[in-house]
Chains A and B, each alone.
Chain A
Amino acid sequence: MAKKRKISGSCNMANRNKRIKKEEEVQSQNTGGMVVDTYTSQLPELVINQIFSHLSTKSAIRASILSKEWASVCSSVLILDIDEDEGKKQSADHRDRRRKFLKFLSNCLKIREKEKYLEKFRLRMSYFGGDCAINKSLSFALERNVKELDICFKRENEVRKGRYYCLQQTALNNAKSLTILKLEYLKIEEDSIDTISLPSLKTLSLKAVKFMTNTGFSRLYSGCPSIEYLSLTSCHGWDVRLSSLGLKHLEILCCEIKLKVEATNLESFKFRGDNGLRHHIIDMRKNFYIASCQTLRSLEFSHAHFAIGWFKGLDSRFPLLERLVLHTCFSYSGIINIFSQHLKSFVFHECGNILSNFSMTAPNLSEATITIEERRDYDRLRNFLGNFDCSKKIRLHVNETEVCIFPEEMRKKYSPPLPSLKHLEVEIDTFTTVVTHSALMDSLRWMAPSLEFLSINRIHYIYDSRIS
């Protein structure tokens, strides 16, 4: 029997538990009595609040129209997440939309005037002036001890030199509670000699950010003693020296900078060496240094041009390395030799001439994921694959079936590249005909004679060695 029960008032854990205990006592007194079905009760306020915290502010305001209670929960949610592009209609009148957006922003702040705290403030919009509204939002958030601040300006599609919003450095001063700071496509104006102090900042992410001086970034970084995660994207011309002991995760993507990493507690490092915009590979021979690190577990390189012998002594420099990713990487000398005792996972995405002069010794390799996009010299491919024979599992991703079909004469002459491999997963981008499929099976069977598990495009094959 359904009973409608409205749960009002502050529904904290203690009250709830008291109610539950009472119910249990009642239950233990009744023998086998069925307790009332309470499914149609309203959700407690805290739960509604939690649902709201997963909605963008735009969706939340729309939901607030459900009832006055929902509206009041909405205004008590301590998260503001506003994206100008959300649900954008194509034909919208630009200026009118802009005006409505700024009105929306200002009203959102107004209803939260009385709140003393704000957990998160995210704003994403295009910059057409309107500094006043933006400054107001920023100070609103910072006055309320916001913990997570995410300000992102959109890069305009037009070729003209975009105007940048200028964030005053002093605005960030004394943001003692800030733990996450993300800034995109703006300029930081260093309007004071003092360093900004962000004592609780753990995550810093800067994308297409400019400082007034060359030392702007270093000064900002020096004011953040607790940083654990740093990400720089499309930032140029800086001299980045990182030697803090707390830094755990570092990401440098598409930046033309001088990089010197001496953070000895680093756990992961991700680097992308192209400029992003102009597909120009950043020269890693000079201005790129990463010190030996006992704690580093994951190294990820993409579009990187390695100096000669960069991988020499990899194992002594990063003894605990578990994961290595090489995506479209080149080496000036054309030779890459990798030895890593503890490497568990290796991901490789085809790049130019690397296949022929690549050798890897990783006795503890669990998983190798290889992506090849061109039909190559099969001899080279055979040699390359041979490096991963010791791996427990190989995932091979090719764009067309022919890549894996070794020619018959070759199969007769040479020994297979993967004699010990037990587990192989193949993914092929193009459709395979029936004829090609049987040729593929023959080739795979030769490639890895000891296979126990084979799947092609996620279809599993029961591999029975008795079937010829």
Chain B
Amino acid sequence: MKKISVRTSDGQEFELEENLAMESATIKTSLDAFSRDDIILLPNVNSWEMVKIIEFFTKVQELETKFGVKFMEKKEGRFLEAFQAEFDKDLSDDNLYCLLWTVDYLGIEVLLENLCHLMAERTKNKTVESCRNLFGVQHDYTPEEEAEIREDYSWAFEGPEIEE
């Protein structure tokens, strides 16, 4: 199996197996454009993120052998659970956010889907303010506009979660 070399933004080099590297649409496009022997430069990817991504693929292969299913091809509930358990614990919110950005940049569909699921789970328990901070979003509603939304969808805004 051919190995593809990539270099992350902080100068570290990683060797990926070809079929794994091809899961990234970005790397795939680069490979088509440039020679396969060149090192691919990933200026928007940090080395810790690359480590996580490789960890992900190893995990997927383990789970595939365990459950005997090709997870890449089907979306499976058990996989989501097992994946969440493994990946959720040591990723801080900010790290998850960065990883999400990077994985989107690299165009790795499967991992992106799962990370979005993780991110969605985390958003559920957050206050509005902390969500805004996390996603770098500007509050652009006037108090009247916001009040209107809260009134129209009042069923959604009652409930046990913490409010702003």
Using CB atoms and an 8 Å cutoff, list the residues of chain A in contact with chain B: 4, 13, 16-17, 20-21, 23-24, 27-28, 32, 34-44, 46-47, 50-55, 57-59, 61-71, 86-89, 92, 97, 100-101, 103-104, 107-108
The answer to whether B116 and A53 have CB atoms under 8 Å apart is yes
- A13, A53, A62, A65: which contacts B107 (Cβ < 8 A)? A13
Which B residues are in CB contact (< 8 Å) with A27? 41, 43
Which B residues are in CB contact (< 8 Å) with A61? 153, 156
A94 to chain B, nearest CB (A): 13
Q: In the complex the two chains form, what is the Cα distance from A21 to B119 in whole Å? A: 28
> Would you call the interface of chain B mostly helix, strand, loop, or mixed?
helix
The answer to whether A66 and B131 have CB atoms under 8 Å apart is yes
Any A CB within 8 A of the CB of B30: yes
A41 to chain B, nearest CB (A): 7
A84 to chain B, nearest CB (A): 9
With contacts A20-B105, A42-B137, A50-B112 taken as known, whether A64 is within 8 angstroms of B155 at the C-beta atoms is: no
The answer to whether B105 and A16 have CB atoms under 8 Å apart is yes
Q: In the complex the two chains form, what is the Cα distance from A39 to B116 in whole Å? A: 17
- B101, B117, B128, B161: which contacts A65 (Cβ < 8 A)? B128
Instruction: Pick from B12-20, B54-62, B85-93, B139-147 the stretch touching chain A.
Output: B139-147
- A16, A21, A97: which contacts B33 (Cβ < 8 A)? A21
- A43, A58, A88, A103: which contacts B101 (Cβ < 8 A)? A43
A27 to chain B, nearest CB (A): 5
B27 to chain A, nearest CB (A): 10
Which A residues are in CB contact (< 8 Å) with B30? 20-21, 24
The answer to whether B158 and A55 have CB atoms under 8 Å apart is no
Interface residues of B in 35-57 (CB under 8 A from A): 40-41, 43-44
Residue of A nearest to B98 (CB): A39
The answer to whether A103 and B44 have CB atoms under 8 Å apart is no
- A47, A67, A68, A103: which contacts B104 (Cβ < 8 A)? A47
Q: In the complex the two chains form, what is the Cα distance from A58 to B124 in whole Å? A: 10
B70 to chain A, nearest CB (A): 15
A-B contact pairs, 20 of them (CB 8 A): A16-B105, A16-B107, A20-B26, A20-B105, A27-B43, A34-B9, A35-B43, A43-B97, A47-B100, A47-B104, A50-B112, A61-B156, A62-B161, A64-B149, A67-B140, A67-B141, A68-B140, A69-B137, A97-B158, A104-B156
B18 to chain A, nearest CB (A): 19
The answer to whether A39 and B155 have CB atoms under 8 Å apart is no
A60 to chain B, nearest CB (A): 9
